[in-house]
Amino acid sequence: MKMKREHIKILVLGVGAVEEVYEAPARVEDSLYILQILDTAGTDECGIIREEFYHQCDGYLLVFSVIDRFSLQETKEIQKDIKR
């Protein structure tokens, strides 16, 4: 039986991180899943690029600093953008 392969894309959004792409394979029964985590958090120039990814991703991870009220407010704005 041929193994099914599927990509699952998660977009990391928020203030203060580095732009990276991480991939991790996971096998579940006869399926291989490639978990792609696209970290765009903290990169101002990614605002437009980030919005292009909104509809191409399967999930989102919103991050903020617990000691920086601005980062929480920014994360709330990003959440509103995703819901549009």
**pLDDT digits (tens), the chain, 84 positions:** 566 768 888 888 887 655 678 899 988 888 899 998 888 766 555 556 566 767 788 988 888 888 888 888 988 988 888 887
What predicted TM-score, i.e. pTM, was given to this entire model? 0.67
- According to the model, what pLDDT value does residue 63 have? 86
- According to the model, what pLDDT value does residue 16 have? 66
In the chain, the number of structural domains is 1
CB of 58 within 8 A of CB of 35? no
What's the domain range around 32?
4-83
Q: At 55, which CATH number? A: 3.40.50.300
CA Rg value for the chain: 15
- The number of beta carbons lying within 10 Å of the beta carbon of residue 19 is 14
- The number of beta carbons lying within 10 Å of the beta carbon of residue 61 is 14
